[in-house]
Amino acid sequence: VLGCSDSRVCPEFVFDQRAGSIFEIRNAGNVVDEDVLASLEYAVEHLHVPLVVVLGHKGCGAVEAVCAAGGEPLHHHLCALQD
Residue 58's pLDDT is what? 87
Please spell the DSSP secondary structure of 2-46, one letter per residue. Answer: EEETT-SS-HHHHTT--TT-S--EEEGGG---HHHHHHHHHHHHH
Q: What is the pLDDT of residues 3-52, one digit of tens each?
A: 998 777 789 998 999 998 999 999 988 889 999 999 999 999 999 999 99
CA gap 30, 36 in Å, rounded: 9
Nearest one of 13, 14, 39 to 26, comparing CA atoms: 39
Q: What's the confidence (pLDDT) of residue 81?
A: 78
Higher per-residue pLDDT: 40 or 58: 40
Instruction: Return the pLDDT at 36.
Output: 95
What percent of the chain has pLDDT above 90?
48
Residues facing 26 on adjacent strands: 3
